[in-house]
Amino acid sequence: MTPNKSKLSRRAAIQSFLALAGSTAIPLTSLATELEARDKTKVKITKLETFLVKPRWIFLKVHTDAGIIGLGEPLLEGRALTIQTAIKEIEPYLIGKDPRQVVHHWQAIYRHAFYKGGPILTSALSGIDQALWDIKGKLLNIPVYELFGGPTRDRVRIYGRASNAEQMKQRVQEGYTVIKTGVAHVNPARAVENPKFIKYAVENFASLRAAGGDTMDIGIDFHGAIPPQTSKILIKELEPYQPMFIEEPCQPQNVDVLVDIARGTHLPIATGERIFTKWGFREILEKGAATILQPDLCHAGGITEGRLIAGMAEAYYAVIAPHNPMGPISLASGLHLAASIPNFLVQEQVSLGEGYLKTPFVLQKDGTVLTPAGPGLGVELDENKLADKINHDWKNPETYDATDGSVVDW
């Protein structure tokens, strides 16, 4: 595909093709005229604009000469300035291009980089991908999920957070039916923890189970911060309380260790926030390392890649629960994914868009939000409310072992 080819050369190519095919059924002039007419409806990208948004996000606006602006969140937490530079480096490729060729641009940005993937480049690509789908939906005046043959559902289950019984009761009142919690601890987990550490974590989870009852789905996030030796002990002790899933029971670099942990328990293992593209999730699925995949649509390759990962997962009876500690554009992307795939489980969120969107999402009484009905991603930024949230200086926490000062994961 060569979008910059001149009309003259395109016409010549068509004429040459038809001559070779021996076709005289379609007049050459009418075909050329049709293509020229199509060229006139062409929409071009004119500018990419990023801005940092509190607490730690980046919003992207992809401008077009049609006056339509696509929104995306190209973010890697703690590397906002690096991502801004990555977007600047990609911008010259996109200027003048038709934003509707979303998959084509995904391929070009990913593959022409030569050094493919990595968190920075796939995060930049992810936000661009979201914005291009937003533009395409707006141009066609339909929601993004319609482009993918949806809706597969009309509401989307989301989860809230609770770290103690009191918070759990509050979430129940609010309508949540799924909660995620972390591992309660008074010190960062050491390689092999003692019974006191394990008991403290398990008793806290038991209190959440008691407060939420047996109908509440409660996932627990190990955050990759519990060493695998301790993870195995902790998972065994949590089994009687039936967590909905065990998330990131070890760091993601060595999938075989995750496989080992997964084979030691009947509880579902979840992972994916630090795994990128279909190539990253391929190994997880093939080795049976997890049955709940949590691609982050701001990291893993956007909505385009999220759908492909979901398709791969379906063949393994695995389900999708997008990771999302990001903003409302990321949330909207997840909702459109949920509304266009069959194997969706639950959507993470930390903001329903209050203070960011003209019309924030609303938690329904059954713990869901409605799929966005507007064109594109269906969200509109409230620039007035955003004004005091522009710029941030968010940094990753630095965590150390209190006993010897060595570096630990957080």
Q: Measured from the CB of residue 90, what is the shortest distance to Mg ion in angstroms?
A: 28
Q: Let me know how long the chain is.
A: 410
Q: Judge whether 315 and 282 are in contact, CB under 8 Å.
A: no
Q: Judge whether 97 and 3 are in contact, CB under 8 Å.
A: yes
The answer to whether residue 104 is catalytic is no
Helix pair 102-111, 302-314: axis angle to 10 deg? 90
Going by C-beta distance under 8 Å and a sequence separation of 6 or more, which residues neighbour residue 230?
A: 189, 190, 191, 192, 193, 197, 198
Which of 63, 105, 299, 323 is catalytic? The answer is 323
C-alpha 102/C-alpha 130 separation (Å) is 9
C-alpha 351/C-alpha 357 separation (Å) is 10
Going by C-beta distance under 8 Å and a sequence separation of 6 or more, which residues neighbour residue 281?
A: 272, 275, 293, 295, 300, 309, 312, 313
Q: Measured from the CB of residue 247, what is the shortest distance to Mg ion in angstroms?
A: 5
Of 73 and 221, the one with the shorter C-beta distance to Mg ion is 221
Of 98 and 273, the one with the shorter C-beta distance to Mg ion is 273
Q: Measured from the CB of residue 255, what is the shortest distance to Mg ion in angstroms?
A: 17
Q: Measured from the CB of residue 372, what is the shortest distance to Mg ion in angstroms?
A: 25
Which of 104, 185, 223, 392 is catalytic? The answer is 223
- Which residue lies nearest Mg ion, judged by its C-beta? 221
Of 190 and 223, the one with the shorter C-beta distance to Mg ion is 223
C-alpha 30/C-alpha 168 separation (Å) is 67
Give the residue from 225, 295, 235, 240 showing the smallest Cα distance to 262: 235
Q: Measured from the CB of residue 271, what is the shortest distance to Mg ion in angstroms?
A: 9
The answer to whether residue 323 is catalytic is yes
C-alpha 39/C-alpha 112 separation (Å) is 25
DSSP string, 232-284: HHHHHHHGGG--S-EE-SS-SS-HHHHHHHHHT-SSPEEE-TT--HHHHHHHH
Of 224 and 378, the one with the shorter C-beta distance to Mg ion is 224
Question: Which residues lie near Mg ion (CB under 5 A)?
Answer: 221
Of 143 and 334, the one with the shorter C-beta distance to Mg ion is 334
By annotation, the residues acting in catalysis are 223, 323
